[in-house]
A and B are shown apart, each in its own frame.
Chain A
Amino acid sequence: MEDLSSLSDNDLIIEARNGNDPAFTTLVYRHDRNVLSMIAHYCKSSDDAKDIYQEVFLRVYKGLKRFEFRSEFKTWLFRITTNVCLTHQASYRRYQKVSISPDEEGMNPKVEIRSPEEHEPDKQFINAEMKGDIQSAVDSLAPKQKMAFMLKHMHDYKIKEIAKMMDCSEGTIKKYLFIATEKLRLKLKTI
Protein backbone atom coordinates (compact mmCIF):
# COMPACT_ATOMS: atom_id res chain seq x y z
CA MET A 1 0.00 0.00 0.00
CA GLU A 2 1.26 3.48 -0.86
CA ASP A 3 2.49 5.56 2.03
CA LEU A 4 0.24 8.60 1.80
CA SER A 5 2.16 10.59 4.36
CA SER A 6 5.10 10.85 1.94
CA LEU A 7 2.94 12.50 -0.75
CA SER A 8 2.89 16.27 -1.26
CA ASP A 9 -0.26 18.27 -0.51
CA ASN A 10 -1.02 18.57 -4.23
CA ASP A 11 -0.68 14.81 -4.80
CA LEU A 12 -2.96 14.15 -1.84
CA ILE A 13 -5.52 16.56 -3.31
CA ILE A 14 -5.45 14.69 -6.63
CA GLU A 15 -5.87 11.38 -4.79
CA ALA A 16 -8.70 12.78 -2.67
CA ARG A 17 -10.48 14.11 -5.75
CA ASN A 18 -10.43 10.58 -7.15
CA GLY A 19 -12.32 9.36 -4.11
CA ASN A 20 -9.36 8.26 -2.00
CA ASP A 21 -10.68 9.12 1.46
CA PRO A 22 -7.51 8.24 3.41
CA ALA A 23 -5.69 10.79 1.22
CA PHE A 24 -8.10 13.48 2.35
CA THR A 25 -7.73 12.37 5.97
CA THR A 26 -3.93 12.54 5.66
CA LEU A 27 -4.24 16.05 4.23
CA VAL A 28 -6.49 17.11 7.10
CA TYR A 29 -4.28 15.56 9.79
CA ARG A 30 -1.23 17.26 8.27
CA HIS A 31 -2.67 20.74 8.77
CA ASP A 32 -5.46 20.59 11.32
CA ARG A 33 -3.27 21.25 14.35
CA ASN A 34 -2.31 24.64 12.91
CA VAL A 35 -5.89 25.33 11.96
CA LEU A 36 -7.16 24.47 15.43
CA SER A 37 -4.50 26.53 17.15
CA MET A 38 -5.50 29.49 14.99
CA ILE A 39 -9.17 28.90 15.76
CA ALA A 40 -8.37 28.73 19.48
CA HIS A 41 -7.46 32.42 19.41
CA TYR A 42 -10.88 33.23 18.06
CA CYS A 43 -13.31 31.47 20.30
CA LYS A 44 -13.69 30.91 23.96
CA SER A 45 -15.17 27.45 24.08
CA SER A 46 -14.04 24.13 22.70
CA ASP A 47 -17.55 23.58 21.29
CA ASP A 48 -17.21 26.70 19.15
CA ALA A 49 -13.71 25.59 18.13
CA LYS A 50 -15.11 22.23 17.03
CA ASP A 51 -17.89 23.92 15.05
CA ILE A 52 -15.42 26.16 13.24
CA TYR A 53 -13.13 23.18 12.60
CA GLN A 54 -16.03 21.26 11.01
CA GLU A 55 -17.07 24.20 8.90
CA VAL A 56 -13.51 24.82 7.66
CA PHE A 57 -12.78 21.24 6.66
CA LEU A 58 -16.23 20.61 5.18
CA ARG A 59 -15.72 23.69 3.01
CA VAL A 60 -12.32 22.27 2.03
CA TYR A 61 -13.85 18.88 1.27
CA LYS A 62 -16.61 20.37 -0.86
CA GLY A 63 -14.29 22.85 -2.57
CA LEU A 64 -11.44 20.44 -3.30
CA LYS A 65 -12.71 19.81 -6.83
CA ARG A 66 -12.48 23.53 -7.58
CA PHE A 67 -8.98 23.98 -6.16
CA GLU A 68 -6.83 25.18 -9.06
CA PHE A 69 -3.32 24.75 -7.61
CA ARG A 70 -2.60 28.44 -8.20
CA SER A 71 -1.66 28.91 -4.57
CA GLU A 72 -0.36 26.53 -1.94
CA PHE A 73 -3.00 24.35 -0.31
CA LYS A 74 -1.96 25.74 3.06
CA THR A 75 -2.66 29.31 1.93
CA TRP A 76 -6.07 28.33 0.61
CA LEU A 77 -6.85 26.42 3.80
CA PHE A 78 -5.89 29.36 5.98
CA ARG A 79 -7.89 31.72 3.81
CA ILE A 80 -10.94 29.58 4.48
CA THR A 81 -10.05 29.43 8.18
CA THR A 82 -9.69 33.22 8.45
CA ASN A 83 -13.04 33.70 6.67
CA VAL A 84 -14.86 31.26 8.92
CA CYS A 85 -13.23 32.71 12.06
CA LEU A 86 -14.10 36.28 11.06
CA THR A 87 -17.69 35.32 10.22
CA HIS A 88 -17.98 33.44 13.48
CA GLN A 89 -16.58 36.36 15.43
CA ALA A 90 -18.90 38.79 13.70
CA SER A 91 -21.94 36.73 14.67
CA TYR A 92 -20.55 36.18 18.18
CA ARG A 93 -20.14 39.92 18.68
CA ARG A 94 -23.62 40.56 17.34
CA TYR A 95 -25.07 38.50 20.16
CA GLN A 96 -22.61 39.50 22.88
CA LYS A 97 -23.45 42.23 25.32
CA VAL A 98 -20.15 44.05 25.68
CA SER A 99 -19.37 47.56 26.76
CA ILE A 100 -18.41 49.42 23.61
CA SER A 101 -16.02 52.34 23.62
CA PRO A 102 -16.35 54.86 20.78
CA ASP A 103 -12.87 54.38 19.34
CA GLU A 104 -11.98 54.88 15.68
CA GLU A 105 -13.71 51.72 14.49
CA GLY A 106 -16.54 52.12 16.90
CA MET A 107 -16.59 48.50 17.93
CA ASN A 108 -13.82 47.82 20.37
CA PRO A 109 -14.73 46.95 23.93
CA LYS A 110 -12.95 48.89 26.64
CA VAL A 111 -10.14 47.06 28.33
CA GLU A 112 -9.30 47.88 31.86
CA ILE A 113 -5.64 47.34 32.60
CA ARG A 114 -4.55 47.45 36.20
CA SER A 115 -1.25 48.92 37.22
CA PRO A 116 1.33 46.51 38.65
CA GLU A 117 0.91 48.03 42.12
CA GLU A 118 -2.71 46.96 42.23
CA HIS A 119 -1.77 43.32 41.75
CA GLU A 120 -1.63 40.80 44.55
CA PRO A 121 1.87 39.73 45.51
CA ASP A 122 1.27 36.13 44.52
CA LYS A 123 3.35 35.40 41.43
CA GLN A 124 1.03 32.83 39.93
CA PHE A 125 -1.90 35.11 40.35
CA ILE A 126 0.01 38.00 38.80
CA ASN A 127 0.94 35.84 35.81
CA ALA A 128 -2.63 34.72 35.32
CA GLU A 129 -3.89 38.25 35.62
CA MET A 130 -1.27 39.58 33.24
CA LYS A 131 -2.16 36.90 30.75
CA GLY A 132 -5.81 37.88 31.10
CA ASP A 133 -4.98 41.55 30.53
CA ILE A 134 -2.97 40.75 27.42
CA GLN A 135 -5.70 38.49 26.11
CA SER A 136 -8.30 41.22 26.68
CA ALA A 137 -6.11 43.78 24.95
CA VAL A 138 -5.70 41.51 21.92
CA ASP A 139 -9.40 40.64 21.95
CA SER A 140 -10.24 44.32 21.90
CA LEU A 141 -8.67 44.73 18.46
CA ALA A 142 -11.00 44.89 15.47
CA PRO A 143 -11.40 41.37 13.99
CA LYS A 144 -9.25 41.90 10.91
CA GLN A 145 -6.53 43.70 12.86
CA LYS A 146 -6.51 40.86 15.34
CA MET A 147 -6.39 38.25 12.59
CA ALA A 148 -3.43 39.93 10.87
CA PHE A 149 -1.68 40.41 14.20
CA MET A 150 -2.17 36.81 15.32
CA LEU A 151 -1.07 35.37 11.99
CA LYS A 152 2.08 37.45 12.23
CA HIS A 153 2.88 36.90 15.88
CA MET A 154 1.62 33.48 16.71
CA HIS A 155 2.17 31.78 13.38
CA ASP A 156 5.07 33.85 11.98
CA TYR A 157 3.64 34.29 8.50
CA LYS A 158 5.10 36.89 6.14
CA ILE A 159 2.98 39.94 5.35
CA LYS A 160 2.74 38.70 1.75
CA GLU A 161 1.31 35.35 2.90
CA ILE A 162 -1.13 36.99 5.30
CA ALA A 163 -2.36 39.23 2.47
CA LYS A 164 -3.12 36.14 0.38
CA MET A 165 -4.85 34.41 3.27
CA MET A 166 -6.98 37.41 4.10
CA ASP A 167 -7.53 38.22 0.45
CA CYS A 168 -6.36 41.84 0.60
CA SER A 169 -3.31 43.92 -0.31
CA GLU A 170 0.00 43.91 1.55
CA GLY A 171 -0.55 47.61 2.24
CA THR A 172 -3.79 46.83 4.05
CA ILE A 173 -2.09 44.18 6.17
CA LYS A 174 0.68 46.63 7.07
CA LYS A 175 -1.99 49.12 8.10
CA TYR A 176 -3.71 46.52 10.29
CA LEU A 177 -0.39 45.65 11.92
CA PHE A 178 0.48 49.31 12.56
CA ILE A 179 -2.88 50.04 14.14
CA ALA A 180 -2.89 46.81 16.17
CA THR A 181 0.62 47.38 17.49
CA GLU A 182 -0.13 50.99 18.33
CA LYS A 183 -3.28 50.04 20.27
CA LEU A 184 -1.52 47.27 22.14
CA ARG A 185 1.36 49.56 22.97
CA LEU A 186 -1.04 51.98 24.61
CA LYS A 187 -3.01 49.30 26.41
CA LEU A 188 -0.04 47.30 27.64
CA LYS A 189 2.04 50.30 28.68
CA THR A 190 1.56 49.60 32.36
CA ILE A 191 2.46 45.92 32.25
Chain B
Amino acid sequence: MEHENYKNQLILYSYNELKKDERNEFERHLLGCGSCKNELEELKRIHQLVKVNLVEELDEDTLFESRQELLADIRNLKRKKFTLQKIWEFFTLPSPTNLKIAYSFAAVVLMVTASYFFYFDKAGNQLLSGSNIAAADSKLTNLQFINSDFDKGEVEITYEQIVPVKLKGNVNDAEIQKVLAKSLIDNENPGIRLKAVNAIYSEKRSTTSGVVKDALIKAMMYDDNPGVRKEAMHALCNIPFDEKISDAMIYVLQNDKNSGLRIQAINCLNEKNDVKRLSDPNIKNVLKNRMQEDDNSYIKLRAKTMLTKLES
Protein backbone atom coordinates (compact mmCIF):
# COMPACT_ATOMS: atom_id res chain seq x y z
CA MET B 1 0.00 0.00 0.00
CA GLU B 2 1.17 3.53 -0.76
CA HIS B 3 2.47 5.76 2.04
CA GLU B 4 -0.38 8.25 1.34
CA ASN B 5 -3.00 5.58 1.99
CA TYR B 6 -1.43 4.79 5.35
CA LYS B 7 -1.55 8.49 6.16
CA ASN B 8 -5.29 8.43 5.54
CA GLN B 9 -5.60 5.54 7.95
CA LEU B 10 -3.82 7.41 10.73
CA ILE B 11 -6.93 9.02 12.15
CA LEU B 12 -8.96 5.83 12.05
CA TYR B 13 -6.10 4.01 13.74
CA SER B 14 -5.93 6.62 16.48
CA TYR B 15 -9.69 6.13 17.03
CA ASN B 16 -9.26 2.35 17.12
CA GLU B 17 -11.66 2.11 14.20
CA LEU B 18 -9.58 -0.06 11.85
CA LYS B 19 -10.44 -3.70 11.22
CA LYS B 20 -8.08 -6.24 12.76
CA ASP B 21 -6.14 -7.04 9.56
CA GLU B 22 -5.94 -3.36 8.57
CA ARG B 23 -4.69 -2.58 12.03
CA ASN B 24 -1.96 -5.23 11.92
CA GLU B 25 -0.83 -4.01 8.51
CA PHE B 26 -0.78 -0.40 9.69
CA GLU B 27 1.27 -1.30 12.77
CA ARG B 28 3.81 -3.09 10.57
CA HIS B 29 4.08 0.09 8.46
CA LEU B 30 4.47 2.24 11.57
CA LEU B 31 7.54 0.26 12.66
CA GLY B 32 9.43 1.46 9.62
CA CYS B 33 7.88 4.90 8.97
CA GLY B 34 9.11 7.76 11.12
CA SER B 35 6.86 10.32 9.41
CA CYS B 36 3.66 8.38 10.20
CA LYS B 37 4.92 7.76 13.74
CA ASN B 38 5.44 11.51 14.28
CA GLU B 39 2.08 12.35 12.80
CA LEU B 40 0.39 9.81 15.02
CA GLU B 41 2.04 11.34 18.08
CA GLU B 42 0.89 14.80 16.99
CA LEU B 43 -2.63 13.50 16.47
CA LYS B 44 -2.70 11.93 19.92
CA ARG B 45 -1.47 15.21 21.38
CA ILE B 46 -4.26 17.17 19.69
CA HIS B 47 -6.90 14.68 20.82
CA GLN B 48 -5.58 14.73 24.36
CA LEU B 49 -5.46 18.54 24.35
CA VAL B 50 -9.10 18.76 23.29
CA LYS B 51 -10.29 16.07 25.63
CA VAL B 52 -8.58 17.43 28.72
CA ASN B 53 -9.49 21.05 28.09
CA LEU B 54 -13.06 20.74 26.96
CA VAL B 55 -14.38 18.47 29.68
CA GLU B 56 -16.84 20.50 31.68
CA GLU B 57 -18.49 19.72 34.97
CA LEU B 58 -22.20 19.24 34.51
CA ASP B 59 -24.05 22.20 35.96
CA GLU B 60 -26.34 20.57 38.53
CA ASP B 61 -28.49 23.70 38.85
CA THR B 62 -29.16 23.75 35.12
CA LEU B 63 -29.98 20.06 35.21
CA PHE B 64 -32.36 20.51 38.12
CA GLU B 65 -34.12 23.51 36.59
CA SER B 66 -34.36 21.79 33.20
CA ARG B 67 -35.97 18.76 34.82
CA GLN B 68 -38.44 20.87 36.75
CA GLU B 69 -39.41 22.83 33.63
CA LEU B 70 -39.77 19.65 31.60
CA LEU B 71 -42.08 18.06 34.17
CA ALA B 72 -44.16 21.22 34.29
CA ASP B 73 -44.37 21.34 30.47
CA ILE B 74 -45.46 17.72 30.34
CA ARG B 75 -48.12 18.30 32.98
CA ASN B 76 -49.44 21.25 30.95
CA LEU B 77 -49.36 19.20 27.77
CA LYS B 78 -51.36 16.43 29.41
CA ARG B 79 -53.86 18.88 30.84
CA LYS B 80 -54.33 20.50 27.43
CA LYS B 81 -54.66 17.12 25.75
CA PHE B 82 -57.21 16.02 28.35
CA THR B 83 -59.30 19.17 27.86
CA LEU B 84 -59.22 18.84 24.07
CA GLN B 85 -60.16 15.18 24.38
CA LYS B 86 -63.11 16.06 26.60
CA ILE B 87 -64.30 18.72 24.18
CA TRP B 88 -63.95 16.29 21.29
CA GLU B 89 -65.89 13.60 23.15
CA PHE B 90 -68.55 16.09 24.05
CA PHE B 91 -69.16 16.93 20.41
CA THR B 92 -68.68 13.46 18.99
CA LEU B 93 -70.55 11.40 21.56
CA PRO B 94 -74.00 12.94 21.92
CA SER B 95 -76.04 11.83 24.92
CA PRO B 96 -79.09 13.30 26.70
CA THR B 97 -76.81 14.80 29.35
CA ASN B 98 -74.55 16.34 26.73
CA LEU B 99 -77.52 17.84 24.94
CA LYS B 100 -78.80 19.37 28.18
CA ILE B 101 -75.37 20.83 28.84
CA ALA B 102 -75.19 22.11 25.26
CA TYR B 103 -78.56 23.88 25.60
CA SER B 104 -77.53 25.38 28.95
CA PHE B 105 -74.25 26.51 27.45
CA ALA B 106 -76.02 28.13 24.51
CA ALA B 107 -78.38 29.91 26.92
CA VAL B 108 -75.46 31.20 28.97
CA VAL B 109 -73.72 32.46 25.82
CA LEU B 110 -76.88 34.27 24.77
CA MET B 111 -77.28 35.87 28.18
CA VAL B 112 -73.64 36.95 28.31
CA THR B 113 -73.86 38.44 24.81
CA ALA B 114 -77.05 40.30 25.68
CA SER B 115 -75.59 41.68 28.91
CA TYR B 116 -72.45 42.71 27.06
CA PHE B 117 -74.39 44.83 24.58
CA PHE B 118 -76.58 46.18 27.34
CA TYR B 119 -73.55 47.20 29.40
CA PHE B 120 -71.76 48.83 26.50
CA ASP B 121 -74.82 50.79 25.57
CA LYS B 122 -75.00 52.07 29.16
CA ALA B 123 -71.27 52.72 29.29
CA GLY B 124 -71.48 54.68 26.08
CA ASN B 125 -74.25 56.90 27.49
CA GLN B 126 -72.27 57.44 30.65
CA LEU B 127 -69.22 58.44 28.67
CA LEU B 128 -71.25 60.91 26.64
CA SER B 129 -72.95 62.46 29.60
CA GLY B 130 -70.01 62.21 31.97
CA SER B 131 -72.61 61.97 34.72
CA ASN B 132 -70.60 59.92 37.18
CA ILE B 133 -67.36 61.85 36.90
CA ALA B 134 -68.11 64.79 39.10
CA ALA B 135 -69.96 62.75 41.68
CA ALA B 136 -67.37 60.03 42.12
CA ASP B 137 -64.33 60.58 44.27
CA SER B 138 -62.24 59.53 41.30
CA LYS B 139 -58.89 60.42 39.80
CA LEU B 140 -58.39 60.93 36.08
CA THR B 141 -55.11 59.98 34.42
CA ASN B 142 -53.74 59.75 30.88
CA LEU B 143 -56.18 62.34 29.60
CA GLN B 144 -55.74 62.92 25.86
CA PHE B 145 -57.53 65.14 23.34
CA ILE B 146 -58.39 63.47 20.04
CA ASN B 147 -60.01 65.09 17.01
CA SER B 148 -61.03 68.17 19.03
CA ASP B 149 -62.09 71.39 17.37
CA PHE B 150 -61.86 74.12 20.00
CA ASP B 151 -63.12 76.83 17.62
CA LYS B 152 -66.38 74.97 17.23
CA GLY B 153 -66.33 74.09 20.91
CA GLU B 154 -66.18 70.33 20.23
CA VAL B 155 -63.95 68.03 22.23
CA GLU B 156 -63.29 64.32 22.10
CA ILE B 157 -61.15 62.97 24.93
CA THR B 158 -59.95 59.68 26.33
CA TYR B 159 -58.84 59.07 29.91
CA GLU B 160 -58.42 56.44 32.57
CA GLN B 161 -60.55 56.84 35.64
CA ILE B 162 -59.31 55.50 38.96
CA VAL B 163 -62.17 55.05 41.35
CA PRO B 164 -61.60 54.32 45.05
CA VAL B 165 -63.42 51.16 46.02
CA LYS B 166 -64.37 50.09 49.50
CA LEU B 167 -64.79 46.41 49.99
CA LYS B 168 -66.02 44.89 53.20
CA GLY B 169 -66.59 41.24 53.77
CA ASN B 170 -65.17 37.96 54.95
CA VAL B 171 -61.63 37.07 54.02
CA ASN B 172 -63.03 33.86 52.53
CA ASP B 173 -65.06 35.80 49.92
CA ALA B 174 -63.81 35.11 46.43
CA GLU B 175 -63.77 38.80 45.47
CA ILE B 176 -61.73 39.80 48.54
CA GLN B 177 -59.32 36.92 47.99
CA LYS B 178 -58.76 38.06 44.40
CA VAL B 179 -57.97 41.61 45.53
CA LEU B 180 -55.61 40.40 48.25
CA ALA B 181 -53.87 38.00 45.86
CA LYS B 182 -53.39 40.77 43.32
CA SER B 183 -51.99 43.21 45.83
CA LEU B 184 -49.67 40.50 47.15
CA ILE B 185 -48.13 40.24 43.69
CA ASP B 186 -48.44 43.79 42.33
CA ASN B 187 -48.21 46.21 45.22
CA GLU B 188 -44.93 48.08 45.43
CA ASN B 189 -45.10 48.51 49.19
CA PRO B 190 -43.74 45.46 51.06
CA GLY B 191 -45.78 46.46 54.11
CA ILE B 192 -48.99 46.12 52.09
CA ARG B 193 -47.80 42.81 50.65
CA LEU B 194 -47.15 41.55 54.18
CA LYS B 195 -50.58 42.70 55.30
CA ALA B 196 -52.10 40.92 52.31
CA VAL B 197 -50.50 37.62 53.36
CA ASN B 198 -51.56 38.12 56.94
CA ALA B 199 -55.10 38.96 55.87
CA ILE B 200 -55.31 35.88 53.68
CA TYR B 201 -54.22 33.77 56.61
CA SER B 202 -55.98 35.57 59.40
CA GLU B 203 -57.98 32.43 60.06
CA LYS B 204 -57.64 28.76 59.30
CA ARG B 205 -59.57 27.37 56.40
CA SER B 206 -59.79 23.95 54.84
CA THR B 207 -59.79 25.09 51.22
CA THR B 208 -57.88 27.83 49.46
CA SER B 209 -58.65 29.33 46.09
CA GLY B 210 -56.21 28.67 43.28
CA VAL B 211 -55.61 32.39 42.78
CA VAL B 212 -54.52 32.82 46.39
CA LYS B 213 -52.34 29.74 46.34
CA ASP B 214 -50.61 30.83 43.12
CA ALA B 215 -50.03 34.31 44.52
CA LEU B 216 -48.53 32.88 47.71
CA ILE B 217 -46.27 30.57 45.71
CA LYS B 218 -45.09 33.45 43.54
CA ALA B 219 -44.47 35.62 46.59
CA MET B 220 -42.59 32.84 48.38
CA MET B 221 -40.34 32.22 45.39
CA TYR B 222 -39.74 35.64 43.95
CA ASP B 223 -40.68 38.48 46.33
CA ASP B 224 -37.76 40.84 46.93
CA ASN B 225 -38.57 41.13 50.59
CA PRO B 226 -37.52 38.15 52.77
CA GLY B 227 -40.24 38.98 55.30
CA VAL B 228 -42.94 38.60 52.65
CA ARG B 229 -41.34 35.40 51.38
CA LYS B 230 -41.25 34.06 54.95
CA GLU B 231 -44.91 34.86 55.66
CA ALA B 232 -45.99 33.43 52.32
CA MET B 233 -44.12 30.22 53.12
CA HIS B 234 -45.69 30.06 56.55
CA ALA B 235 -49.12 30.38 54.94
CA LEU B 236 -48.37 27.71 52.36
CA CYS B 237 -47.19 25.35 55.09
CA ASN B 238 -50.62 25.63 56.67
CA ILE B 239 -52.74 24.73 53.68
CA PRO B 240 -53.19 21.26 52.18
CA PHE B 241 -49.90 20.31 50.60
CA ASP B 242 -49.76 19.44 46.91
CA GLU B 243 -47.20 18.94 44.17
CA LYS B 244 -47.11 22.61 43.19
CA ILE B 245 -46.38 23.73 46.75
CA SER B 246 -43.75 21.06 47.33
CA ASP B 247 -42.02 22.00 44.01
CA ALA B 248 -41.97 25.62 45.16
CA MET B 249 -40.54 24.64 48.58
CA ILE B 250 -37.82 22.65 46.82
CA TYR B 251 -37.09 25.68 44.67
CA VAL B 252 -36.64 27.83 47.79
CA LEU B 253 -34.50 25.18 49.47
CA GLN B 254 -32.27 25.07 46.43
CA ASN B 255 -32.13 28.74 45.46
CA ASP B 256 -33.03 31.14 48.25
CA LYS B 257 -30.04 33.12 49.47
CA ASN B 258 -31.58 33.49 52.91
CA SER B 259 -30.62 30.54 55.11
CA GLY B 260 -33.57 31.19 57.46
CA LEU B 261 -35.96 30.60 54.58
CA ARG B 262 -34.09 27.51 53.46
CA ILE B 263 -34.39 26.18 57.02
CA GLN B 264 -38.10 26.96 57.07
CA ALA B 265 -38.53 25.21 53.70
CA ILE B 266 -36.76 22.04 54.77
CA ASN B 267 -38.66 22.01 58.07
CA CYS B 268 -41.94 22.36 56.22
CA LEU B 269 -41.07 19.56 53.78
CA ASN B 270 -40.06 17.38 56.71
CA GLU B 271 -43.22 18.21 58.62
CA LYS B 272 -45.46 17.32 55.67
CA ASN B 273 -43.58 14.02 55.32
CA ASP B 274 -44.97 13.34 51.85
CA VAL B 275 -42.75 10.28 51.31
CA LYS B 276 -44.10 9.52 47.86
CA ARG B 277 -43.37 13.01 46.59
CA LEU B 278 -40.05 13.32 48.41
CA SER B 279 -38.86 10.03 46.90
CA ASP B 280 -38.70 11.72 43.51
CA PRO B 281 -35.06 11.34 42.36
CA ASN B 282 -35.00 15.01 41.51
CA ILE B 283 -35.90 16.05 45.04
CA LYS B 284 -33.45 13.56 46.46
CA ASN B 285 -30.78 15.22 44.34
CA VAL B 286 -31.61 18.59 45.85
CA LEU B 287 -31.41 17.12 49.35
CA LYS B 288 -28.06 15.52 48.50
CA ASN B 289 -26.86 18.78 47.08
CA ARG B 290 -27.90 20.68 50.22
CA MET B 291 -26.33 18.01 52.42
CA GLN B 292 -23.01 18.48 50.66
CA GLU B 293 -22.95 22.12 49.69
CA ASP B 294 -25.15 24.23 51.91
CA ASP B 295 -23.13 26.66 53.99
CA ASN B 296 -25.53 26.24 56.88
CA SER B 297 -24.73 23.22 59.03
CA TYR B 298 -28.30 22.87 60.31
CA ILE B 299 -29.60 22.50 56.73
CA LYS B 300 -26.86 19.99 55.98
CA LEU B 301 -27.88 17.94 58.99
CA ARG B 302 -31.61 18.23 58.22
CA ALA B 303 -31.07 17.19 54.59
CA LYS B 304 -28.99 14.22 55.72
CA THR B 305 -31.66 13.12 58.21
CA MET B 306 -34.38 13.38 55.60
CA LEU B 307 -32.37 11.40 53.06
CA THR B 308 -31.62 8.68 55.60
CA LYS B 309 -35.31 8.51 56.49
CA LEU B 310 -36.32 8.31 52.82
CA GLU B 311 -33.81 5.63 52.02
CA SER B 312 -34.61 3.43 55.00
Find out whether the CB atom of B54 lies under 8 angstroms from the CB atom of A154.
yes
Task: State how many angstroms separate the Cβ of A149 from the closest Cβ of chain B.
Answer: 8
Residues in A with CB closer than 8 Å to B42 are 185
- B40-68 residues with Cβ-Cβ distance < 8 A to A are 42-43, 46-47, 49-51, 53-56, 58-59, 61-63, 65-67
Find out whether the CB atom of B54 lies under 8 angstroms from the CB atom of A57.
no
Contact of A181 among B11, B58, B59, B77 (CB under 8 A): B11
Whether, in the assembled complex, B171 has its beta carbon less than 8 Å from a beta carbon of chain A, the answer is: no
The segment from A31-39, A79-87, A115-123 found at the interface with B is A31-39
Find out whether the CB atom of A49 lies under 8 angstroms from the CB atom of B67.
no
Find out whether the CB atom of B50 lies under 8 angstroms from the CB atom of A29.
no
Whether, in the assembled complex, A177 has its beta carbon less than 8 Å from a beta carbon of chain B, the answer is: yes
Find out whether the CB atom of B50 lies under 8 angstroms from the CB atom of A138.
yes
Find out whether the CB atom of A50 lies under 8 angstroms from the CB atom of B74.
no
Whether, in the assembled complex, B25 has its beta carbon less than 8 Å from a beta carbon of chain A, the answer is: no
The segment from A7-15, A106-114, A129-137 found at the interface with B is A129-137
- B49-106 residues with Cβ-Cβ distance < 8 A to A are 49-51, 53-56, 58-59, 61-63, 65-67, 69-71, 73-74, 77
Find out whether the CB atom of A134 lies under 8 angstroms from the CB atom of B53.
yes
Find out whether the CB atom of A153 lies under 8 angstroms from the CB atom of B69.
no
- A1-59 residues with Cβ-Cβ distance < 8 A to B are 21, 24-26, 28-29, 32-33, 36-37, 40-41, 46, 49-50, 53-54, 57-58
A76 to B131, CA, bound (A): 69
Find out whether the CB atom of A53 lies under 8 angstroms from the CB atom of B66.
yes
Residues in B with CB closer than 8 Å to A57 are 70
Contact of B56 among A24, A37, A54, A61 (CB under 8 A): A37
Task: State how many angstroms separate the Cβ of A3 from the closest Cβ of chain B.
Answer: 12
Task: State how many angstroms separate the Cβ of A45 from the closest Cβ of chain B.
Answer: 10
Find out whether the CB atom of B70 lies under 8 angstroms from the CB atom of A37.
no
Find out whether the CB atom of A134 lies under 8 angstroms from the CB atom of B15.
no
Residue in B closest to A52 when the chains form the complex, CB atoms: B66
**Total A-B contacts with CB atoms under 8 angstroms apart:** 90
Residues in B with CB closer than 8 Å to A177 are 11, 15
Whether, in the assembled complex, A159 has its beta carbon less than 8 Å from a beta carbon of chain B, the answer is: yes
Whether, in the assembled complex, B281 has its beta carbon less than 8 Å from a beta carbon of chain A, the answer is: yes
Whether, in the assembled complex, B259 has its beta carbon less than 8 Å from a beta carbon of chain A, the answer is: no
- A136-191 residues with Cβ-Cβ distance < 8 A to B are 138, 152-154, 158-159, 174, 177-178, 181, 184-185, 188, 191
Residue in B closest to A178 when the chains form the complex, CB atoms: B11
A177 to B43, CA, bound (A): 12
Contact of B17 among A26, A37, A53, A158 (CB under 8 A): A158
Find out whether the CB atom of A135 lies under 8 angstroms from the CB atom of B53.
yes
Find out whether the CB atom of A33 lies under 8 angstroms from the CB atom of B58.
yes
Find out whether the CB atom of A153 lies under 8 angstroms from the CB atom of B47.
yes
Residues in A with CB closer than 8 Å to B162 are none
Residues in A with CB closer than 8 Å to B289 are none
Find out whether the CB atom of A154 lies under 8 angstroms from the CB atom of B51.
yes
A154 to B50, CA, bound (A): 9
Whether, in the assembled complex, B267 has its beta carbon less than 8 Å from a beta carbon of chain A, the answer is: no
Whether, in the assembled complex, B282 has its beta carbon less than 8 Å from a beta carbon of chain A, the answer is: yes
Residues in B with CB closer than 8 Å to A24 are 74
Whether, in the assembled complex, B12 has its beta carbon less than 8 Å from a beta carbon of chain A, the answer is: yes
Residues in B with CB closer than 8 Å to A174 are 11-12
A8 to B46, CA, bound (A): 37
Residues in A with CB closer than 8 Å to B63 are 32-33, 36
Find out whether the CB atom of B54 lies under 8 angstroms from the CB atom of A134.
yes
Find out whether the CB atom of B69 lies under 8 angstroms from the CB atom of A46.
no
Find out whether the CB atom of B54 lies under 8 angstroms from the CB atom of A41.
yes
Find out whether the CB atom of B70 lies under 8 angstroms from the CB atom of A58.
yes
A123 to B76, CA, bound (A): 50
Residues in B with CB closer than 8 Å to A21 are 74
Find out whether the CB atom of B17 lies under 8 angstroms from the CB atom of A40.
no
A178 to B10, CA, bound (A): 10
Residues in B with CB closer than 8 Å to A50 are 62, 65-66, 69
Find out whether the CB atom of B15 lies under 8 angstroms from the CB atom of A159.
yes
Residues in B with CB closer than 8 Å to A154 are 51, 54-55
A36 to B66, CA, bound (A): 9
Residue in B closest to A57 when the chains form the complex, CB atoms: B70
Complex A-B: 14 CB contacts under 8 Å:
A28-B67, A29-B67, A29-B282, A32-B66, A36-B63, A37-B58, A49-B59, A50-B65, A54-B70, A58-B73, A61-B77, A153-B50, A177-B15, A188-B49
Which are the 5 A-B pairs with shortest beta-carbon distances? A53-B66, A46-B62, A134-B53, A131-B53, A50-B66
